[in-house]
Amino acid sequence: MSPVIARLSGEHNFLNIYRHGRRFKTSVAQLAYLRLKSEPTRVAVVVSKKISNLAT
């Protein structure tokens, strides 16, 4: 698991990425990202219930 400082958390962070970020799609996955000047790069992985109810 990533260190706490590198994780995204909170609804506000995710809404910013979904509203203002760029998207990259394949048939298997979708990536949304937002360029920021902050250090270090922060990462989050979201798995939908359609894929797995047990994903954590």
- The dihedral over CA atoms of 29, 44, 42, 3, expressed in degrees to the nearest 10, equals -130
User: Pick from 12, 11, 17, 16: which is nearest to 31 by CA?
Assistant: 17
Q: What is the pLDDT of residues 7-51, one digit of tens each?
A: 677 788 788 878 888 888 887 778 888 887 776 777 777 777 777
Q: Where are the domains of the chain?
A: 1-44
What is the pLDDT confidence band of residue 55, given thresholds at 50, 70 and 90?
Answer: low
- How is residue 17 written in tokens? 């990425």
pLDDT at 1: 62
What is the pLDDT confidence band of residue 3, given thresholds at 50, 70 and 90?
Answer: low
- The dihedral over CA atoms of 24, 31, 51, 16, expressed in degrees to the nearest 10, equals -120
pLDDT at 2: 60
What is the pLDDT confidence band of residue 6, given thresholds at 50, 70 and 90?
Answer: low
